Amino acid sequence: MSASHSSSSSLVFSSHNHTSSSMVNTLALTPDSTTSSPTSLAGHMPQMDGGPYGHSMGGHPRTTDSRGGEQMMGLAYLPYSGCLTSTTSERPAQHGHIVQQEFSQFLLPPPPSALRQPGQKRSLSKDSMEYRLRRERNNIAVRKSRDKARRRILLTQQRALQLEEENHRLQLTIEQLSHEVDTLRHYLSQRHLQSKVDDLGAGENC
């Protein structure tokens, strides 16, 4: 639960810069400590949980823009808060989040011709509108993706808990049934003996 994030980073158009180096590190995750379990599914879980995950059902979730994906609960990635018509319309800053960039006006109608001028195709200067647009879109995508991941994780946890509970119930049921079987068996064996005794008695009697 963090709180307002009044980051001072400001970031008004490029400041951040931070030069992150990006050295891609390769997901290490040693088997080492903790659970020596098989871990066979290390990489990705093919299915598991499924949850909100696509798998389509008919079509690709994506279809240009997708966006129709999950829309339950409050999702707040979207740069605009509602009325997109007017110029400014930044995301409502869910948590303070002062960042607000004022290039917002560019977000909506991307004049095709304006983007990327003929001369500089592959440069993508950080000052370019194109760059800013890409960044902003990616930021939205990132927020969305993480939200999804969070939900998925939560779901998995809940599922695990549920399963644990059910497991417990099943165990109890099994105990009960086992006990019942024992009782019946015992009873039956008694009956069996009784019958024999009866038979014997009958034979003797007559």
Partner DNA sequence: GTTACCTTGCGCAATGTTTAT
Partner DNA sequence: AATAAACATTGCGCAAGGTAA
Name residues contacting a copy of itself, limited to 149-188 (CB under 8 A): 150-151, 153-161, 163-164, 166-167, 170-171, 173-174, 177-178, 180-181, 184-185, 187-188
Asked if 48 and 160 touch (Cβ cutoff 8 Å), the reply is no
Name the binder of 136 from a copy of itself, DNA, none, CB < 5-8 A by kind: DNA
Among 88, 158, 167, 176, binds DNA (CB under 7 A): 88
Asked if 13 and 132 touch (Cβ cutoff 8 Å), the reply is yes
Q: What is the closest distance, in whole angstroms, from the C-beta atom of residue 114 to a copy of itself in the complex?
A: 17
Q: Does 204 bind a copy of itself (CB under 8 A)?
A: no
Nearer to a copy of itself, 92 or 117 (CB): 117
Total of chain residues touching DNA, rule CB under 7 A: 66
CA distance 135 to 103: 12
CA distance 20 to 136: 18
CA distance 125 to 122: 9
Total of chain residues touching a copy of itself, rule CB under 8 A: 96
Name the binder of 8 from DNA, a copy of itself, none, CB < 5-8 A by kind: DNA
CB-based burial of residue 113 (10 Å sphere; 0-12 exposed, 13-18 middle, 19+ buried)? exposed
Q: Does 8 bind a copy of itself (CB under 8 A)?
A: no
One-letter amino acid of 62: R
Using CB under 7 A as the binding rule, the residues of this chain from 127 to 146 that contact DNA are 135-146
The first and second tokens of residue 46, run together, are 């093919």
> DSSP string spanning 167-185?
HHHHHHHHHHHHHHHHHHH
DSSP 3-state of 48: coil
Q: Does 49 bind a copy of itself (CB under 8 A)?
A: yes
Q: Does 107 bind DNA (CB under 7 A)?
A: no
Q: How many CB atoms lie within 10 A of CB 13?
A: 14
User: Which of these segments, 62-70, 83-91, 105-113, 114-122, binds a copy of itself (CB under 8 A)?
Assistant: 62-70
Among candidate residues 149, 163, 157, 166, the one with its CA nearest the CA of residue 75:
149
Contact footprint for DNA (CB under 7 A): 1-9, 11, 14, 16-18, 20-25, 27, 38, 40, 43-47, 53-54, 60, 62-67, 69, 71, 88-91, 94-95, 97, 99, 110, 116, 121, 126, 135-146, 148-150
